[in-house]
Amino acid sequence: MNHKHILEKTSTLLIALAVIVIASGIYVGIELTKKPQYAFAAVKRQDITQVVTSNGTVQAAEDVTLAFQKTGIVSAVYAKVGDRVSKGKVLAQLDTKDANAALQAAKANYDKIVNGATGPEVDVAKAAVESAQVAYNNAQNTYQVTKQQQNIAVSNALSAMLNSGLAAIPSATNGSSITITVSGVYTGAQQGSDKVTVGASGGGYTYSVSGLDSADGQITRGVPIAIGKNGLFLTFSSTGTININDTWEIDIPNTQASTYLTNYNAYQAALQTQSQALTAAQSAVDSAKAALDQAQAALNLKLAAARPEDIAAAQAALLAAQNVYTDSLIVAPFDGTVTRMDAQVGQNASAGQALAAMVSNQKFEVDLQLSELDAARIKAGDAAKVTLAAYGTGTQFDATVASVDLSATQAGATSYYKAVLQFNNDDSRIKSGMAASVTIMDETHNAALVVPKSSIIQKQDGSYVILDDGNGKTEQRKVQTGISDQNNIEITSGLNEGDRVAVFGN
């Protein structure tokens, strides 16, 4: 009994464990099949400024070498050694004809997009629409006239073919010697035949017609008799005998007539001409309609307000043209004194070749070591904010990028690009050797589409986001990105304002 009791308890325990294991498996399975839960952020439009952050050390101000950022022929030199110059003064420049033309074109395009079309431009576009509308109306009228003319030509050719040598042919079994003459013009459109049968009624003779026409009546010899409503007449000859139930056949058309083949070919030619003429007329209508639609679209574009994405694209093109132009200039990055000027008019200057130097009116600068990526993002003249460890992040000092090396400095296994910042103002709190944190403001895009940086998923073939489709589902969407700041990144294509994307982390 004890053994049996133990076995029963063991069995019960095993069953309970099995139930727990199965239930756990089901729960785990359910948990594994649950869809991931995302936090979403809306795609919004705002200004975004690309920044570069770095750490450096305050140093006593030294000469800063200056160079053109592109290769070219020096066209002018505006400063000499010993000149005291203000920030922004052009010290020397390359030949800028092409760069200036491209800059003016980009500026004109930007202004045109932002300001919209001028009154005269709108008037020209409206006139183009009116002209296109007249051309379209004329093409439609021409089509209708062509259609009417061709229908008449085909109808006439068909009539000529159907009326080719119409004749009443007696049956081979006829005993009558009377003849029947066919006259009039067949006005029907169907091909076929009429059968004429003669009979007797009282003291005279009768006729009946069946086939394309339907008629019957008393025969009056020598007088044309209308048969049906298709324009044909029969005349029974004044002489000759009539046998009851004799028949005659009128084929329409009479393919045995001498004129039939000529008229048939003319009819086929008329059909072909009709097809070609209508095709050409319809093509003219279609072309005129396309021209009208194009003119209307051009007018609508001039009347419509500029889209934010068009403004952003024009702004980016303008900024690129400005950069190309400024790369042709050596500009004083700060207030100071020119200590070197080697540039000469007519000289072929290379990009990065040190041709000038300045010393700041200020006492201190900050030296930075930047990666290749960060060095490519900034340029001399960019504004910067500096915080010093001694005073905390709440105290900021204004500074300006004075120079950025174009070639890397090798330091063991690594390389870096040296950048120098000059403080904009003297401040007794700034001391040599202080640790500095720097934020450089580079490029700004206005009214850009932005998303949180954490929403971007990098893959081998590009950048993606997880997009909420609005129906409780998500999809991965490939996007093109632009500049970024500390929190957000610009989206140049792939998303629209108001879309919701998943965000990850902080």
Query: What tokens were used for 244?
Result: 């009851």
> Where do we find the tokens 């400005």?
322
My answer on whether 6 and 84 are in the same domain is no
My answer on whether 26 and 1 are in the same domain is yes
My answer on whether 102 and 174 are in the same domain is no
Q: Please count the structural domains in the chain.
A: 3
pLDDT in tens, 191-240: 999 999 999 988 899 999 999 999 999 999 999 999 989 999 999 999 99
- Rounded-to-integer distance, Cα 453 and Cα 433, Å: 34
Confidence of residue 35 (pLDDT cuts 50, 70, 90): low
Torsion of CA 112, 113, 114, 120, to 10 degrees: 50
437 within a domain of the structure (yes/no): yes
My answer on whether 338 and 420 are in the same domain is yes
Torsion of CA 288, 289, 293, 298, to 10 degrees: 10
Chosen domain end from 444, 463, 481: 444
My answer on whether 342 and 431 are in the same domain is yes
| 20-29, 81-90, 426-435: the lowest-pLDDT one | 20-29
My answer on whether 80 and 187 are in the same domain is no
Confidence of residue 31 (pLDDT cuts 50, 70, 90): very low
For residue 68, what pLDDT is reported? 92
For residue 38, what pLDDT is reported? 86
Mean pLDDT value across residues 28-40: 60
For residue 485, what pLDDT is reported? 84
My answer on whether 57 and 84 are in the same domain is yes
For residue 4, what pLDDT is reported? 46
- Rounded-to-integer distance, Cα 143 and Cα 347, Å: 70
My answer on whether 329 and 391 are in the same domain is yes
The helix (H) or strand (E) run that includes residue 350 is none
C-beta separation of 506 from 41 below 8 A: no
Chosen domain end from 236, 252, 268: 252
- Rounded-to-integer distance, Cα 109 and Cα 310, Å: 11
Strand partners, 401: 421
Mean pLDDT value across residues 13-20: 51
Strands (E) located in 43-179 = 44-60, 64-67, 72-77, 84-85, 90-94, 168-170
180 within a domain of the structure (yes/no): yes
367 within a domain of the structure (yes/no): yes
For residue 81, what pLDDT is reported? 92
For residue 502, what pLDDT is reported? 92
Which strands sit side by side in the sheet containing 84-85, from one edge to the other? Answer: 64-67, 354-360, 336-341, 84-85
Confidence of residue 165 (pLDDT cuts 50, 70, 90): very high
Residue 249, pLDDT > 80, answer yes
272 within a domain of the structure (yes/no): no
Which range of residues forms the domain containing residue 233?
167-252
237 within a domain of the structure (yes/no): yes
pTM above 0.75, yes or no: no
For residue 27, what pLDDT is reported? 44
74 within a domain of the structure (yes/no): yes
152 within a domain of the structure (yes/no): no
Residue 59, pLDDT > 60, answer yes
For residue 506, what pLDDT is reported? 59
Which one has a higher pLDDT value, 69 or 443? Answer: 69
Confidence of residue 261 (pLDDT cuts 50, 70, 90): very high
Share of the chain above pLDDT 90, in %: 59
| 96-100, 140-144, 173-177, 216-220: the lowest-pLDDT one | 96-100
Give, in order, the Cα–Cα distances in Å from 278 to each of 140, 254, 284, 350.
11, 31, 10, 68
For residue 158, what pLDDT is reported? 96
| 202-216, 282-296, 305-319, 345-359: the lowest-pLDDT one | 305-319
- Rounded-to-integer distance, Cα 264 and Cα 282, Å: 27
Share of the chain above pLDDT 70, in %: 92
Residue 11, pLDDT > 70, answer no
For residue 167, what pLDDT is reported? 96
Chosen domain end from 427, 444, 461: 444
pLDDT in tens, 75-107: 999 999 999 999 889 999 999 898 899 999 999
Query: What tokens were used for 248?
Result: 């005659």
For the purposes of burial, counting CB atoms within 10 Å of the CB of 228, is it exposed (0-12), middle (13-18) or buried (19 or more)? middle
For residue 122, what pLDDT is reported? 86
Mean residue pLDDT of the chain comes to 88
Confidence of residue 33 (pLDDT cuts 50, 70, 90): very low
My answer on whether 189 and 226 are in the same domain is yes
For residue 13, what pLDDT is reported? 52
Residue 18, pLDDT > 70, answer no
124 within a domain of the structure (yes/no): no
Q: Under DSSP, is residue 373 helix (H, G, I), strand (E, B) or coil? A: helix
Three-state secondary structure along 217-278? EECCCCCCEEECCCCEEEEECCCCCCCCCCEEEEEECCCCCCCHHHHHHHHHHHHHHHHHHH
For residue 29, what pLDDT is reported? 46
Other Cβ atoms less than 10 A from the Cβ of 313: the count is 15
- Rounded-to-integer distance, Cα 142 and Cα 25, Å: 79
Residue 216 CB partners (closer than 8 Å, separation 6+): 206, 207, 208, 209
- Cα radius of gyration rounded to whole Å, the chain: 48
Mean pLDDT value across residues 266-281: 97
pLDDT in tens, 321-376: 988 899 999 999 888 889 999 999 999 999 989 999 988 777 788 999 999 988 88
C-beta separation of 99 from 324 below 8 A: yes
Q: How far apart are the first and last CA of the chain?
A: 66
For residue 490, what pLDDT is reported? 93
My answer on whether 191 and 235 are in the same domain is yes
My answer on whether 97 and 201 are in the same domain is no
pLDDT in tens, 416-425: 999 999 898 8
Q: Assign residue 91 the CATH number of its domain.
A: 2.40.50.100
